[in-house]
A and B are shown apart, each in its own frame.
Chain A
């Protein structure tokens, strides 16, 4: 039975769904990377994703427009980010605690809205795969990389874009400086508050899209707590990726591939208890974090509120 895993069709299936499943991680983790590089830990990603997932699904269901769904998810995520920014930047809240609060808020509100507005699980027709001409016809590779939906392509394009912005632009320099030494940035006229508002709202927007990618591009349903910890893994991936977009990509792929593998193990009926299979990505999270986090250095001002002395 194990040998079934190693047929070409199954391997292509595992890789293709692994590429696809990395999508929500990528949106959420890249967004979180921006926040953390500017010194803000947002543990509320999961809550933002849940609200984004619901908003996208409900709008798509009622209007029939997937793009309006994405827009709704972005607005909801950005709003969550705006509140988070106010609480952390202006009120100097403890970021670890307030983040958990935002998670619980998102969890509860998305559930409440689901109960009130929908009540039962429904499905939508999500974003269809787009076959990239010529590339998609390459055997194997075409199916793995070039027959995905638009949100998947977007997630992968986000990685080099984020890298470029962080490392090659003045905006990125400001973000990194605010996260490492906000006093220095402030002394040179960089507004620490404005930069952090920007990164937190950007993070919220991307988390909203991450949620939408689940509800209207990958699974095409909305259920209570459908993210089931994915937002927290996204936060962990930022540490795993050492606060670098390419590192985050590596982490996201590792987890999604393991996830994809365990799904296929269940599909093929390979006799590994499904509970164990489902545990695999989470166990991996802990293991990898233990190994990696001790050797990389977080942005110095991470979780530290900024206040000018006067």
Chain B
């Protein structure tokens, strides 16, 4: 029934046939077909590395396909640059924004256009862009410099750039990854406004929930192959989509055992610290983590999470306050000092901070162990013992590589994260801070990381989990702190199964700067 309606009323706007795109050693798209209907929001699902972005980069003119054809409104097109695609009415908002921070919104929108021809009269275009923003619910000051804008606003500028160019098809690559819950609603409203005006949207995501919420139809890619093309999102369950993405069933409910928290292991007391630009990043932040619990830090990116984890791990000095680990002050000491006191650290940037990309798995594994026997023997490294250890950990942590002398930069995100976790956990830490440990990982790898974190908790370690994924925090943590502009807005106990909508709403408000006690006070007033 639905199929009939779409075939008669909605016509095809984009058709990709048999797209093949290869990267050195990877077949990113293997004869993929993709059809986009006029006036629909089309979800493109897949794990990281499934080839979603590659396929869309081909459609947006950034990559050239090795085989296959693209038809726009029935006519075959060859795109040799993004400009060609835009001229054909197809624009893309990339995951990493393509903006010039030192320039105004208007200048960013006008860049590369044929009109204005040479001399720019900015005020004239400011008002045009403001009007366009108004039309689609994209509130942003055209005269503001891009660096002054929040990430959400910058995303609006990217969308405006494409709308101003009159695109009919907008591709959004993982647009919600950088947004707070409230901003996501705003984005969805904009997308719906675009549909109402007869445009079409391709929404790339690896989050099932979002795709079912916004998309009319869904296509799924797995390892470069389309496993579903344009199924109506109403008629398909999350379980089915997940199976299409990863090729097996994913258990959503994690098996979280009951744990009785022990003594306080990590005690962060009223710390102040600056960011790399010398601006205040942490302003009187306190929290604690007890043995046998996972404590989450929720917040929109850039509110001091990175600085917090760096102060705890000893990579950043704090101006005031202190961090106690098992009763000893570890702040403003070396990272080695923290390690010797039982600290494990899974940093945000696994490619540069968490590992040395050009060194082997073995070298990366022994980085915290080379000072001691069995790796250190008579003042020299015992590479035989190191290789043995690496092989043991490869087995235990399910690191899928032919051998441990592989350079870690060749590993997938999930494998690399397992190498890092293997190194950190095998030191039997009493405390672990993990920052965005699952970012960019596919569903299967995320599940593995979650299991490892829970194992740590069951073994009696204290775990501090910094994440932007609310779902992840709610399913793993015993308590969650919400951080905003370097301060804790409040602490929430996570009771049990399921996500309470009111709880998510409360955390959302805290993430945008309302302290918990204020929310509760207002709640009491409203109820009374």
A-side residues, CB < 8 A to B, are 168-171, 173-174, 176-177, 180-181, 183-190, 297, 300, 310
Contacts and interface: CB of A to CB of B under 8 A. Distances in A.
A35 B118 CA distance: 19
A189 B112 contact: yes
Contact of B98 (A174, A183, A300, A310): A183
Contacts of A174: 111-112
Given A184-B98, A187-B82, A177 B118 contact: no
A184 B99 contact: yes
Given A181-B101, A187-B82, 15 more contacts: A170-B110, A171-B118, A173-B103, A173-B111, A173-B120, A174-B111, A177-B103, A177-B107, A185-B111, A186-B82, A187-B62, A187-B98, A188-B83, A189-B81, A190-B112
B120 A170 contact: yes
B212 to A, nearest CB: 30
Chain A binding surface, main DSSP class: helix
Nearest to B96: A183
Q: Which of A169, A173, A183, A187 has the most CB of B within 10 A?
A: A187
Contacts of A177: 100, 103, 107, 111
Nearest to A308: B62
Contacts of B116: 170
B119 interface: yes
A158 B81 CA distance: 35
B165 to A, nearest CB: 8
Interface string B84-103: 00100000001000111111
B107 A173 contact: yes
A310 B117 CA distance: 31
Contacts of B120: 168-170, 173
28 contacts: A168-B120, A169-B118, A170-B116, A170-B120, A173-B107, A173-B110, A173-B111, A174-B112, A176-B100, A176-B103, A177-B100, A177-B103, A177-B111, A180-B100, A180-B103, A181-B101, A183-B98, A187-B94, A188-B82, A188-B83, A188-B86, A188-B113, A188-B161, A189-B81, A189-B82, A189-B112, A297-B102, A310-B64
Candidate in A169, A170, A176, A310 with the most chain B CB atoms within 10 angstroms = A170
Nearest to B94: A187
B63 interface: yes
A190 B111 contact: yes
Contacts of B86: 188-189
A253 B83 CA distance: 43
A59 B287 CA distance: 77
A16 to B, nearest CB: 35
Contacts of B101: 180-181, 300
Contact of B111 (A168, A169, A184, A297): A184
Given A170-B110, A189-B112, A190-B112, A180 B102 contact: yes
A145 B112 CA distance: 40
Nearest to B87: A189
Nearest to B99: A184
A184 B113 CA distance: 13
A170 B98 CA distance: 18
Task: Name B's interface SS.
Answer: loop
Contact of A188 (B103, B111, B119): B111
List the 10 shortest-distance A-B pairs measured between CB atoms, nearest first.
A189-B83, A188-B112, A184-B98, A180-B100, A187-B98, A190-B112, A181-B100, A177-B100, A189-B112, A187-B82
A310 B62 CA distance: 8
Contacts of A188: 82-83, 86, 98, 111-113, 161
Nearest to B115: A170
With a 10 A CB-CB cut-off, give which of A173, A180, A186, A300 has the most chain B CB atoms. A173
Contacts of B112: 174, 185, 188-190
Contacts of B83: 188-189
Contacts of A180: 100-103
Interface in B437-466: none
A183 B101 CA distance: 12
A174 B111 CA distance: 6
A204 B100 CA distance: 27
A47 to B, nearest CB: 31
Contacts of B98: 181, 183-184, 187-188
Interface string B285-297: 0000000000000
Interface in B69-91: 81-83, 86
Contacts of A169: 118-120
B100 A170 contact: no
Contacts of A171: 118
B293 to A, nearest CB: 42
A181 B119 CA distance: 22
A186 B81 CA distance: 9
Contacts of B117: 170
Contacts of A187: 62, 82, 94, 98
Contacts of B99: 181, 184
A297 to B, nearest CB: 8
- B64, B86, B107 interface centre (most CB from chain A within 10 Å): B107
A180 B104 CA distance: 13
Contacts of B103: 173, 176-177, 180
Interface in B44-84: 62-64, 81-83
A231 B119 CA distance: 31
A176 B102 CA distance: 9
A228 B9 CA distance: 76
Interface string B460-482: 00000000000000000000000
Contacts of A189: 81-83, 86, 112
A193 to B, nearest CB: 12
A169 B120 CA distance: 5
Contacts of B94: 187
A184 B82 CA distance: 11
B100 to A, nearest CB: 5
Contacts of A190: 111-112
Interface string B106-148: 0110111100111110000000000000000000000000000
A173 B109 CA distance: 11
A180 B120 CA distance: 19
B172 to A, nearest CB: 15
A194 to B, nearest CB: 12
A188 B162 CA distance: 10
A120 B430 CA distance: 81
Contacts of A300: 101-102
A79 B190 CA distance: 51
A297 B147 CA distance: 13
A183 B83 CA distance: 13
Contacts of A176: 100, 102-103
Nearest to B117: A170
A184 B118 contact: no
Nearest to A176: B103
A102 to B, nearest CB: 28
A184 B100 contact: yes
Contacts of A310: 62-64
Nearest to A183: B98
A173 B103 CA distance: 9
Contacts of A297: 102
